[in-house]
C-alpha cells in the first residue's frame, strides 16, 4: 500500500526555525496536509497544499512540496515552546482516505 | 459548531467487559472515521462511514470490534470482550467529501486491565 514516512524526533531551541520533513510514495497524491497533535488532544489541521502548488505560506508556517521527489516539508519560523507537539504529514489522491505518517515529535527548548 | 465530540474521555475497564465509545460528528459532514492510536503502530484507520453506511472496515482488528452509525449525528465503536491489548487512544473524525481535512475529536483513552 501507499506509505508516508517521517523522521520521529526533532529538537530545536526557541526562536530557531524548525523544518519537519515527509516523503510519500503515492504518485497520484493530490492533497497533502500537516496536522498537529498536542498532548492529550486530537489531531488539529494546521495547513494543507494541493499538488499543483510548490509552496504555501501561512504566517509562521511555510509548506514546500517537491512533487518530483515526493517530498513535503513544514517550516515553522521563530519556533516557540507552544509549538512543541507531534506533527503528522498526510496525503490522499482524493479517491481514498488519508494516509498518515507516524508523526514527528517536535521538542522546543527555552 | 462544537467540533467532533467523543465520550467518554477516559475509560478504564476490566478484561472481558464490553466497552462502548461514542462520537458525534460535525453537523453536515458526510464522512465519519474511527482511528486507534498507539505508540507502536501510530494511527490506524479502523472503519469509516459515508452517509451513515460503513464503507471499509478492513482495519477492524477482530470480530470483537464493531461499529455502527444509526444516524448522521451519532456513531459507536464497541469492543466485546475487551482485552488488555486494546488499550489505546481511540479517535473519531469527520469530514466533508472524504478527502478534505478531517476534524478530529479529543479522543477516548481506553485502558483495559
A39 touching B, CB under 8 A? Answer: no
What value does the mean pLDDT of chain A take?
Answer: 92
Per-residue confidence (pLDDT) for residue A29, from 0 to 100: 81
Per-residue confidence (pLDDT) for residue B99, from 0 to 100: 59
Instruction: Say if residues B103 and B4 touch (Cβ distance below 8 Å).
Output: yes
Whether A100 sits inside 8 A of B48 (CB atoms) is no
Q: Retrieve residue B6's grid coordinates.
A: 467523543
Instruction: Say if residues B42 and A106 touch (Cβ distance below 8 Å).
Output: no
Peptide bond between residue B8 and the one before it cis (omega within 30 degrees of 0): yes
Q: Give CB contacts under 8 A, 24+ apart, made by A39-44.
A: A39/A85, A40/B106, A41/B106, A41/B107, A42/B4, A42/B91, A42/B93, A42/B104, A42/B105, A42/B106, A42/B107, A43/A88, A43/B43, A43/B91, A43/B93, A43/B102, A43/B104, A44/B104
Per-residue confidence (pLDDT) for residue A92, from 0 to 100: 86
Checking if the pLDDT of A2 tops 80, the result is no
Best of A98, A101, A103, A104 to disrupt the B interface (most B CBs within 10 Å) is A98
B33 touching A, CB under 8 A? Answer: yes
Which residue in the set A48, A88, A97 is minimally distant from B45, CB to CB?
A97
In angstroms, how far is CA B75 from the centroid of its own chain?
8
Per-residue confidence (pLDDT) for residue A66, from 0 to 100: 94
**Chain A positions in Cβ-Cβ contact with residue B49 (cut-off 8 Å):** none
Strand partners, A10: A106
Neighbours of B63 (CB within 10 A): 7
- Residue A1: band (very low, low, confident or very high) from pLDDT cuts 50, 70, 90: low
Sign of CA dihedral A28, A30, A35, A41: negative
Residue of A nearest to B6 (CA): A42
Whether B42 sits inside 8 A of A48 (CB atoms) is no
Q: Which residues of chain B have pLDDT under 70?
A: 1, 98-100
Whether B99 sits inside 8 A of A48 (CB atoms) is no
Burial class (CB in 10 A: 0-12, 13-18, 19+), A22: buried
Whether B42 sits inside 8 A of A103 (CB atoms) is yes
Per-residue confidence (pLDDT) for residue B98, from 0 to 100: 59
Per-residue confidence (pLDDT) for residue A97, from 0 to 100: 84
- Residue A9: band (very low, low, confident or very high) from pLDDT cuts 50, 70, 90: very high
Which residue in the set A40, A42, A48 is minimally distant from B105, CB to CB?
A42
- The pLDDT tens digits of the residues spanning A24-75 come to 998 888 889 999 999 989 999 999 999 889 999 999 999 999 999 999 999 9
B60 to chain A nearest CA, in Å? Answer: 15
A107 to chain B nearest CA, in Å? Answer: 17
Amino acid at each position: 500500500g501507499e506509505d508516508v514516512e517521517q523522521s520521529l524526533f526533532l529538537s530545536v531551541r526557541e526562536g530557531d526555525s524548525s523544518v519537519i520533513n515527509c516523503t510519500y510514495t503515492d504518485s497520484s497524491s493530490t492533497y497533502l496536509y500537516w496536522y498537529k497533535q498536542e498532548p492529550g488532544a486530537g489531531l488539529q489541521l494546521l495547513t494543507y497544499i494541493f499538488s499543483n502548488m510548490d509552496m504555501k505560506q501561512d504566517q509562521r508556517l511555510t509548506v514546500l512540496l517537491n512533487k518530483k521527489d515526493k517530498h513535503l516539508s513544514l517550516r515553522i519560523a521563530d519556533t516557540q515552546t507552544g509549538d512543541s507537539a507531534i506533527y503528522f504529514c498526510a496525503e490522499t489522491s482524493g479517491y481514498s482516505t488519508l494516509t498518515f505518517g507516524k508523526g514527528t515529535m517536535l521538542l522546543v527548548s527555552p | 459548531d462544537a467540533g467532533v465530540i467523543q465520550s467518554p474521555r477516559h475509560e478504564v475497564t476490566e478484561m472481558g467487559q464490553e466497552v462502548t465509545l461514542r462520537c458525534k460528528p460535525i453537523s453536515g459532514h458526510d464522512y465519519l472515521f474511527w482511528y486507534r492510536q498507539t505508540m507502536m503502530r501510530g494511527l490506524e484507520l479502523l472503519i469509516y462511514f459515508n452517509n451513515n453506511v460503513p464503507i471499509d472496515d478492513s482495519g477492524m482488528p477482530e470480530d470483537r470490534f464493531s461499529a455502527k452509525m444509526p444516524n448522521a449525528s451519532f456513531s459507536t465503536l464497541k469492543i466485546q470482550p475487551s482485552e488488555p491489548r486494546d488499550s489505546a487512544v481511540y479517535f473519531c473524525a469527520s469530514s466533508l467529501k472524504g478527502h478534505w481535512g478531517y476534524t478530529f475529536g479529543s479522543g477516548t483513552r481506553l485502558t483495559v486491565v
